[in-house]
């Protein structure tokens, strides 16, 4: 078994121990929880969510935005789907969404197989932990196209492999995290910034590597404190870890921990409400609405765009297998708008923009492991 697969298996065991077993049924337009109607003339596109699911304000919600709001032109509510009125969304693609929630990691493969049995036009899995499940189901259903977001397919030795019916997309998260760290280094007044990580796995270590390097680039004397929760689904634990870091006089936190990260955001919000000058930077989606007075920015992972473009390509007959890597240059990674005011904001944003340009040009290479240095 490859080191990658050993890490994934360990992560699956840990997540299974902290999750329930309820499964969200297929959810076509207008009737969340019911299977697709045979008479529906629109092609169906299926999505298997990662743990954390709908409402994580991050990775899964970004994928849902690409599928439901953008591709289907629908807004999900507890009563089902309604036509969306968002004028800024891309053109709808005339599809019916089917969403399956995975309550435990063991749900991934049967959920994907269920999509195949529902004869969807495209089956999608979001999250690196779906890698094994996507590979297994894609091999069993070679005529069905698949999208796997956040991981390549890997062979037994941990080397990337390709299947003709699977498009995989990975992100160079460290590039966006570098900009987040650079911003944190410019904003901190205490000279101490923190990061709340989820599971201590290679993917999240790339977040740490980029963030540390960014802080060092703009504030080499600053101290970076990093704590991992060992989870992606424990709000209370994320809040506790966030509070612990705030007690250590950090004034900017980087929350990169899924649902645990939402807890860290809440910790910063409460500290801000109590009068402290503290900030938080999110990941995957912009969480500004959760704490408008405390969210500084977020490292955006454009899962919404990846999902939408895969559906568009499938509808146009242009969806092919293969591996894609997206970073700042390709628009797959970005930094959310900085809406809060702080002393020296204009100069700080100019500095961050200049660093972004150097990364895009290739002049600046961002490290992918903590302890490595940028040139």
Tell me, yes or no, whether 233 and 279 share the same domain.
yes
Q: Does 209 score more than 80 pLDDT?
A: yes
Tell me, yes or no, whether 179 and 165 share the same domain.
no
Tell me, yes or no, whether 148 and 200 share the same domain.
no
Whether 125 is covered by a domain: the verdict is yes
Mean pLDDT of 249-267: 96
Local confidence band at 74 (pLDDT 50, 70, 90 cut-offs): very high
Which of 83-97, 260-274, 296-310, 331-345 has the least mean pLDDT?
Answer: 83-97
| CATH classification of the domain holding 140 | 3.40.50.2300
Tell me, yes or no, whether 73 and 177 share the same domain.
no
Contact 125, 147 (CB under 8 A): yes
* Dist CA 196 CA 190 (whole Å): 18
Which of 21-25, 75-79, 81-85, 129-133 has the least mean pLDDT?
Answer: 21-25
Tell me, yes or no, whether 274 and 314 share the same domain.
no
Whether 366 is covered by a domain: the verdict is no
> CB neighbours of 46 closer than 8 A, spacing ≥ 6?
26, 97, 98, 99, 100, 115, 118, 120, 122, 123, 124
* Dist CA 132 CA 5 (whole Å): 8
Tell me, yes or no, whether 279 and 310 share the same domain.
no
Local confidence band at 372 (pLDDT 50, 70, 90 cut-offs): low
Tell me, yes or no, whether 138 and 186 share the same domain.
no
Domain range for 269 is 173-301+341-361
Q: Does 15 score more than 50 pLDDT?
A: no
Local confidence band at 78 (pLDDT 50, 70, 90 cut-offs): confident
Tell me, yes or no, whether 203 and 270 share the same domain.
yes
Contact 260, 229 (CB under 8 A): yes
Whether 331 is covered by a domain: the verdict is no
What's the confidence (pLDDT) of residue 36?
A: 41
Tell me, yes or no, whether 311 and 351 share the same domain.
no
pLDDT tens per residue across span 134-158: 999 999 999 999 999 999 999 888 8
Name the domain count of the chain: 2
Q: What is the pTM of this model?
A: 0.84
Local confidence band at 109 (pLDDT 50, 70, 90 cut-offs): very high
């Amino acid at each position: 078994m490859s080191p990658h697969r050993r890490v994934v298996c360990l992560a699956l065991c840990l997540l299974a121990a902290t999750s329930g077993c309820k499964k969200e049924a297929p959810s076509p337009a207008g009737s969340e929880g019911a299977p697709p109607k045979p008479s529906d003339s629109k092609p169906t596109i299926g999505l298997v969510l990662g743990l954390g699911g709908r409402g994580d304000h991050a990775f899964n919600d970004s994928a849902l935005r690409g599928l439901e709001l953008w591709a289907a032109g629908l807004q999900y509510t507890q009563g089902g789907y309604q036509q969306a009125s968002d004028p800024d969304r891309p053109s709808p693609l005339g599809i019916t969404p089917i969403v399956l929630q995975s309550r435990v990691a063991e749900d991934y493969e049967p959920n994907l197989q269920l999509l195949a049995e529902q004869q969807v036009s495209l089956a999608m899995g979001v999250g690196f932990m779906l890698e094994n499940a996507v590979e297994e189901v894609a091999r069993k259903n070679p005529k069905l196209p698949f999208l796997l977001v956040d991981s390549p397919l890997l062979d037994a030795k941990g080397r990337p492999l390709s299947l003709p019916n699977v498009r995989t997309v990975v992100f160079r998260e460290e590039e966006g995290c570098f900009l987040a760290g650079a911003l944190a280094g410019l904003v901190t007044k205490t000279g101490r910034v923190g990061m709340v990580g989820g599971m201590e796995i290679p993917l999240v270590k790339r977040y740490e590597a980029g963030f540390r390097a960014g802080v060092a680039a703009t504030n080499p004397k600053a101290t970076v404190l990093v704590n991992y929760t060992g989870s992606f689904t424990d709000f209370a634990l994320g809040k506790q870890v966030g509070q612990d870091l705030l007690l250590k006089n950090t004034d900017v936190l980087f929350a990169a921990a899924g649902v645990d990260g939402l807890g860290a955001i809440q910790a910063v919000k409460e500290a801000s409400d109590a009068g402290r000058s503290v900030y938080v930077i999110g990941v995957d989606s912009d969480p500004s609405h959760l704490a408008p007075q405390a969210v500084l920015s977020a490292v955006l992972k454009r899962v919404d765009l990846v999902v939408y473009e895969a559906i568009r390509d499938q509808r146009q007959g242009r969806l092919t297998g293969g591996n894609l890597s997206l970073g700042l240059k390709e628009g797959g990674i970005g930094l959310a708008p900085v809406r809060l005011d702080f002393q020296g904001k204009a100069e700080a944003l100019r500095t961050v923009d200049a660093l972004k340009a150097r990364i895009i040009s290739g002049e600046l290479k961002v490290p992918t492991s903590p302890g490595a240095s940028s040139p």
